Amino acid sequence: MTASWGLQPAPKKTRGPRFWIALAVAVVVLILLLIAAPVVVAFLAVLALVFALVVLLIGRGRWARIPHRKAAAGVAGGALVLIVVAASLTGPSETATTPAADAAAQETPAPSAEPELASFVGEACEGDQLVMTQDGESNYCDANEGGSFVWVAAADHEKSEAAVVALASQQAADQAKAQKAAAAKAAAEAKQAARDKAAAKVKAEKAAAEKKAVEQAQAKRAAQQESARKAQAAQATRDAERKAAEKASAVRKQSYVAQPVVPQKPASTSAYYKNCTAVRAAGADPIHVGDPGYSRKLDRDGDGVGCE
């Protein structure tokens, strides 16, 4: 069994969009170089033509990026076209002057002398900040009294500028003076306001002190009156107690006198009190006639009740 080998043609290499984009960019760059520097393009075209002729002679030129003679022929043709185009674009830049032109230039009359600056004084001009100069002298475009712009001589311009500067200085001085006067007036008003405030404060403090003194005096009088009232009440109470005691004592005396004398019982031998302090210590006060421990020395007023 024999094996058969089939030979197929190599696939054809297609050129993608990148190739055409690069080609378009190269064409645009070449056109720009032809317009801007045709001499440079002509020089490069001559080099390309030399490389192409060398490849045509030796048959190959990979060192020059030209793979074969067909490509070298294309490069040579393109180089010739570029040389011709560059040569047509690089012509003489200036034309030589002819004797007739020189004669016409010589026969042209010289311009007349310029008018003097003084002749322009008083004429209208376009606007401020304009200067006309001739032979070291100048005219200035200034506004007149009517508000229109006219040419004036340098001396008048300087006088006008000096007047403007003087007016501005006077206005600045007046403004500074007015500001100073206003500041002095404000300072005086502030000082007066401070004095008024201090006086009002002193007056308020004095009124508060007087009010406090009046309140303290009133409180003192009220305390004195209350103390007197309490003293009077205490005195009345003492007087009432004294009168009640006197009345009770009188009643006791009357009852003591009216009642028959009760014979005293013999003191109980079970109790003996040295004085009223001992009676009170024993809790037996008041002690009556017939009670254990009663004695006449404990009943000083003799009403039958001791240690009252």
On the question of pLDDT at 110 being above 50, the answer is no
Mean pLDDT of 119-148: 83
Which pLDDT belongs to residue 24? Answer: 77
| pLDDT greater than 90 at residue 42 | no
Q: How far apart are the C-alpha atoms of 101 and 78, rounded to whole Å? A: 43
Prediction pTM value: 0.29
For the segment 208-227, the average pLDDT, to the nearest whole number, is 93
pLDDT at 155: 86
Instruction: Report the pLDDT value the prediction gives residue 98, as an integer from 0 to 100.
Output: 45
Instruction: Return the minimum-mean-pLDDT range out of 60-69, 160-169, 229-238, 264-273.
Output: 264-273
On the question of pLDDT at 55 being above 90, the answer is: no
Q: Report which of residues 202 and 124 the model is more confident about.
A: 202
Give the mean pLDDT of 112-117.
Answer: 64
Q: Is the pLDDT of residue 173 over 90?
A: yes
Tell me the pLDDT of the chain averaged across its residues: 77
Residue 22: per-residue pLDDT? 72
